[in-house]
Structure 1
């Protein structure tokens, strides 16, 4: 009778033995991935403003522009028109027209330098003093004054071969035209201004070009260009993250005048790459290229990976399994199975998958047989929603490996809903905190630094989470960092 009662169990065990195939860990463990994460390459425009002191222009122009701009000495045939009276209703001339000689000079006051948009404006105060003298003695040295403000407007050009050139135009207007009021007539003396100011313009333009030629923009640009072939530290450790700059072009978008300084609007177009681990070698500098006239829109664009070491996932998964092992797993066609877990291995597998190996001791509660030992292997693909740092695992596949008669048992255990759901849940990670920590580190690292005679400023305005990928070295969650950066020439004094 006892034999009859035990027969169903013996049949199950025999069937298991008949279908079992001895396997080793090496047979079933997925191969390890050896691929490395790609180095994302982006194009950034780094502002590289160059300043030129315009104050020296005022000193040079003071030398170039004489105090007395021109003198006046001309004969006026009708300073005083003929005078007459009416006789029998007709006008009769009593006196002939009175001629006179007009003499005087136009002088300038101290020059004032200011900026107005993209023009350097030199204000030139003009003062005129004239007198009228006649032969007949009618005019007794009548004298008049007038004033004007001339503006020398200077536009600076930067040529493709890095030379500064200036072009000058004069604009002026008399606030009080110099002249004489005599017997109801206004005699003015401004008709000579245009002709007299032409040589002044030539002198101003000559001095402007002589002075701005002393500003060695090419040397500053060459220094910035050469030093920009560099690697900047974004995160010191856990893990070390680097950004490498490889300049491509220099763009020039004009200039503006700020006070007495000319600020040239330059931008460095560079390829930006990010690296995790050891500091990469700096790229080899190239010769300073010709200037490109193009309106630059400085922006910083670089992918910074958040890296998760696979070893960090192992204790998380083991804790979840140990906690769950207090309750039996319901395995289809086998019934409740008690399982113990004591080792978890996680690494990258080919095809962008993550491999998880779990050492198991399984004991079916309905089969009077010793426990089955072995390893259950699972592979899954990490996925995340666009812009999200929460990572889950999809397409979970279970493999098995045992030390004997229960090979199918471990496969069934691994494929049971309770186990596979537990593994997927334990793998799920939220990297939001890691992204926020890295963001804070990067902001502090790149905010402002000094490299020799150059001051580097970086402003990070945004972090955008990309698509997570599994590689041989770990899980890579790319974070796109955007903002602006500038490199200013600030030689130590």
Structure 2
């Protein structure tokens, strides 16, 4: 009898403990469902950008104007083989002009020359020869595989004021006499110009600088903080094409682009790959995984429901969001009015749903909301007619995020920015023609929306700047 009584008391105590524990748990609120995700951040698909870079003729003229010195030659008392000496002074007396000539660049400028002959004492007085000519430089430029400029220069001249010398009553024309000597010196000068082009070639350094910039995170917006990541894999450039309006170069970039809301680490840039020929049509097709971290996405959705009442006596204070397998879990914080003691007036209900992307309608929703088993509370059940289930329809209608208007606004802003973007003398022009949403992926860190952006792009270098801003003006080209 005593054993039966003891056993009965034990069962009652255990049952009472379990019941009290259940009541305490229900009174205090639910336990959060586990956090995990089955998906992984997808590798960004390859994106391609193809555009034509134009360097206008006036930009080239301004660049060369500061590089072609005013004094081209200055020789004093240079000894002559047959005796005596000569002074030679050659000055540029007009602006540099750049034009297209048979598919090559033609650079020309006027030069005034003064030659003073100092004969020895036995040959009489000194003679002065003045002339003016225009020097023409025909430049054929090409790009090498290792991103260098290869130049081939041909120099020629035309007399504006032929050289003459006064000997008594005679003023003979010395053009035929001096032409071979001038041409000989121009041939030597052309070789020096080609050597100088190779010596001062900055192209590879410029491309490497741009390549390094492309590997760094690019801040897009401040709220929420968002960065564009570019992982370039190849860069291409076609042959230089000289036309009447300027020099045109087709260029291309193949990269893996992504947008993230967590500040990324900037690693060392990969080495610049060899130059290849562009293969795509002009424009760009960007495949963009946009990663919205769960804290940012939860804050955005919380703004849509915070302070609202799904039914009298229940106020939503906010929500948190995280993945749980293939679903998302919403922790909905609430405040209740007129709650009897000892129940809590505040708590959190856990709901589960599936994120759905309607790519055609461009809408992101959370559908199929349900209360996570055992995650309601006594206070919530007491304050509502049917517990947390009464919130589901109300919440689903407010967790629908229409993206079409935002995408069109983003497309318009991007097109406007491309139409007026200018920095460091480089102007971009283009248009974003389409923005498409393709898929979503749930990862531990973020909800990833994969999108596709299409458009056109062109670039014009209105001002050519040296890599070293301290480069002295007037240095020979």
Q: 2:223 is matched with which residue: 238, 242, 248?
A: 238
Query: What is the Cα deviation at residue 310 of structure 1?
Result: 1.0
Q: TM-score, normalised by structure 2?
A: 0.53
The 3-state SS of whatever aligns with 1:490 is coil
What CA distance in whole angstroms lies between the structure 1 residues aligned with 2:246 and 2:192? 17
Residue 225 of structure 1 pairs with residue 208 of structure 2? yes
Residues 222/409 of structure 1: CA separation in 2 closer, same or farther (3 Å cut): same
Query: What is the Cα deviation at residue 299 of structure 1?
Result: 4.0
Query: What is the Cα deviation at residue 164 of structure 1?
Result: 2.0
The 3-state SS of whatever aligns with 1:238 is coil
What runs of 5+ residues in structure 1 fail to find an aligned partner?
A: 1-16, 60-111, 123-151, 169-201, 327-338, 364-369
Residue 310 of structure 1 pairs with residue 298 of structure 2? yes
What CA distance in whole angstroms lies between the structure 1 residues aligned with 2:187 and 2:229? 44
Query: What is the Cα deviation at residue 380 of structure 1?
Result: 0.7
Query: 1:388 maps to which residue?
Result: 361
Query: What is the Cα deviation at residue 311 of structure 1?
Result: 2.6
Query: 1:265 maps to which residue?
Result: 250
- Figure out how many residues of one structure are paired with residues of the other and give that number: 340
- The one-character-per-residue Cα deviations of 1:432-472 (angstroms, maximum 9, x if unpaired) are 34434544555566652435xx7363634132233345556
What CA distance in whole angstroms lies between the structure 2 residues aligned with 1:426 and 1:48? 46
**Is the contact between residue 253 and residue 295 of structure 1 (CA under 8 Å) also seen in structure 2?**
no
Residues 241/387 of structure 1: CA separation in 2 closer, same or farther (3 Å cut): farther
Query: What is the Cα deviation at residue 43 of structure 1?
Result: 3.1
Query: 1:334 maps to which residue?
Result: none
Query: What is the Cα deviation at residue 347 of structure 1?
Result: 1.2
The 3-state SS of whatever aligns with 2:224 is coil
Query: What is the Cα deviation at residue 348 of structure 1?
Result: 1.3
The 3-state SS of whatever aligns with 1:45 is strand
Q: 1:253 is matched with which residue: 233, 238, 244?
A: 238
What runs of 5+ residues in structure 2 fail to find an aligned partner?
A: 1-17, 69-96, 108-136, 155-183
Residue 424 of structure 1 pairs with residue 396 of structure 2? yes
The 3-state SS of whatever aligns with 1:225 is helix
Q: Which has the greater radius of gyration? A: 1
**Is the contact between residue 50 and residue 250 of structure 2 (CA under 8 Å) also seen in structure 1?**
no
The 3-state SS of whatever aligns with 2:145 is coil
Q: 2:48 is matched with which residue: 44, 48, 55?
A: 44
Query: 1:450 maps to which residue?
Result: 423
Higher strand share: 1
What CA distance in whole angstroms lies between the structure 1 residues aligned with 2:272 and 2:380? 72
Residues 293/444 of structure 1: CA separation in 2 closer, same or farther (3 Å cut): closer
What CA distance in whole angstroms lies between the structure 1 residues aligned with 2:404 and 2:229? 25
**Is the contact between residue 141 and residue 149 of structure 2 (CA under 8 Å) also seen in structure 1?**
no
What is the RMSD computed on CA atoms of the aligned residues? 5.3
Query: What is the Cα deviation at residue 385 of structure 1?
Result: 1.5
The 3-state SS of whatever aligns with 2:238 is strand
Query: 1:292 maps to which residue?
Result: 276
